[in-house]
Amino acid sequence: MPLNLPNKLPAIELLKKENIFVIDHSRATQQDIRPLRIAVLNLMPLKITTETDLIRLLSNSPLQIEVTFMKLKSHTSKNTPVEHMMAFYTDFEEMRSQKYDGMIVTGAPVEQMDFEEVTYWDELTSIFDWARTHVTSTLYICWAAQAGLYHFYGIPKYPLEKKMFGIFEHVKLEPLHPIFRGFDDVFYVPHSRHTEVHKDDILRSPDLTLLSESPDAGVYMVVARGGREFFITGHSEYSPLTLDTEYKRDLGKGLPIEMPRNYYLHNRPEEGVVVRWRAHANLLFTNWLNYFVYQETPYNIEDIK
């Protein structure tokens, strides 16, 4: 089934060029199927890029999905036109009384700040708390994963000596877990971050299960509450050129940035990117939607507890 998206969302035309099937809201409402309702709290500065990345992966499911983009009242995006935010995003306060089958919370460029120093921390944590009673399963990505682990379970984050930047090998610690169905024994994930959570802290918490880690990038995936919360430290949703754009941006600014590891063919930017993570990114989102959203959500969405 296709994705049910807001009319004229820029991602629709971008993804059609990639031969990805999406439809706008006006066509989807003609189908007599209750779509899965997915809320996306997009905290990334380049909203349209992140919207497109997430929709690309959500579209690979046979399930019909209705996406609603949420925005914070306590934060104004500086890198996305106001007109775009007004047309395609909804304030959390307007969504508070509704329930959703699934939710995705993205990363944010605030990881080197203490959590409580983030200007929208109070509103964000109120959304985290709301999700526990209004959403079947929530996927926390990168900084949002660190924020969720800290807010709910007291797991601290630690600064890295240098940016974790590149494509890294990962292994499954719970290979029979449904989130890994179809995964290879070793799979690749992009990382781009300055902080990390430690394995020992995760293992000490009786409420958390470490599902996957990387020999180089550390903790990758943690699950809680029987799959109602997933915390993912990497960026499986990244498009092929995202790290290339970040690398060249930082070089242009004269920032201390190393070449992304395991990313360019023969480690030569001029030879292009080797995409190693696309298949597992699609499996990750499809498995989450099928086994932890669709299979677990009640037919009447108001019955979510």
Active-site positions read 142, 235, 237
> Which of 49, 162, 62 minimizes the C-alpha distance to 106?
49
Amino acid at 278: R
**How many whole angstroms separate alpha carbon 15 and alpha carbon 18?**
5
Question: In whole angstroms, what separates CA 129 from the centre of its chain?
Answer: 18
Question: What is 31-82 written as a DSSP string?
Answer: S-S-PEEEEEE--SSSHHHHHHHHHHHHTTSSS-EEEEEEE-SS---SSS-H
Confirm if 272 and 265 have CB atoms less than 8 A apart: yes
State the residue for tokens 């599902």.
211
Write out the two tokens for 203: 């293992």
> How many other C-beta atoms can be found within 10 angstroms of the C-beta atom of residue 6?
19
H or E segment to which residue 199 belongs? helix 199-204
| Three-state DSSP class for residue 110 | coil
Taking 3-state DSSP, the helix, strand and coil percentages for the chain, each rounded to the nearest 5, stand at: 35, 25, 35
